[in-house]
Amino acid sequence: MSVTLKDVAKVAGVNFTLVSKLINNPDVRIRPETRERILKAIRDLNYHPSRSARALRLGRSDLLGLVSGDLTNAYFAHYADAAKRPKATAAGWSSASARAATPARRTAT
């Protein structure tokens, strides 16, 4: 089972909302000793935010999905390339792509 904010809060001896505030806004004003306890708990528990939980909470996933035809076709390749551009990843977007299966063509005999 993965570590949650509540697990980190319990180890640090604080409310989970304070842990959330520190993770989402590192400049939040809290006492230095409290900040260190939270950061130590995060390290000790090897806490990593859940992308799925964040997507559910925010109502968005920041994921670009692309299902395309044959990527050897310049039309489809252009859009696949655009989805993976540095500007998209720098803005926090990740991408996933898949090739749509095409049925085998029958040839006249």
The residues near 14 (Cβ < 8 Å, ≥ 6 apart) are 34, 37, 38
| Domains assigned to the chain | 5-58 (1.10.260.40), 63-99 (no CATH)
Residue 71 DSSP code: T
Q: By the 8 A CB rule, do 47 and 3 touch?
A: yes
pTM here is 0.57
Task: Give me the tens of pLDDT residue by residue for the chain, a chain 109 residues long.
Answer: 788 999 999 999 999 999 999 998 889 999 999 999 999 999 999 998 887 777 787 787 777 777 877 778 788 788 777 777 777 777 777 777 777 776 556 666 6
Distance of CA 2 to the CA centre of its chain: 16
- CA 109, CA 104: separation in Å to the nearest integer? 15
Task: Please give the Cα distance from 46 to 31 (Å, whole number).
Answer: 22
